[in-house]
Amino acid sequence: MSRDLTTAVANEVEAAEVQPFLLFEGEFVSGYVRAWSGIGDLVWNSQTWTGTGTLLSISDIQETSDGSAQGITATLSGVPSALISLALQDVRQGKSGKVWLGFLNNGIVDDPVLLFEGRLDVPVINESGDTASISISYESRLIDLQRQREHLYTDEDQQGLFAGDLGCQFVTSIQEITLNWGKT
């Protein structure tokens, strides 16, 4: 997938010394979680991003030429075991998640590049003593192309989609009808 890089980002990619970082934004029941791969707080896009250092990891982000859906996994390590139940209550399938790649050069280089945007799939918890790690899978929106659509041409389905539409009101009455075509 081609990317539109700003001139500042393109110059930074080609620089002799590069300081890349990742930004992660996940939507949860209680609101958004914004984290970045550095230490301390970072302000970008009028939002404050919490530094996680090495506690946050993002799996490889893959793109294919055949357009198949690829996902990612965001893992937060070092979570106290007492907070696991709170974390699970805050997770809902289908919530959004995004990952950006940015560069530092005496501050943030303009416009980090959006690498991935998808929807939350399933969390996995690995407990080990007093701490645990929470891995949350995000799937690409392309996965929707593989899902079956379960709509029928019935008045009930039509009313659910477009209340008041009468386009399918006679569907049930014509199911058993016998029609003669042509000369009898």
Tell me what pLDDT residue 1 has.
44
Give domain limits for the chain: 7-147, 149-184
Strands 41-44 and 56-58 turn out to be unpaired
- Determine the Cα angle at 22 with ends 19 and 26, to 5°: 165
Give 48-99 pLDDT, tens digit per residue.
Answer: 999 988 888 888 887 777 766 688 898 888 888 777 777 788 888 889 999 9
- Residues 101-114, mean pLDDT to the nearest whole number: 86
Top pLDDT among 11 and 159 is at: 159
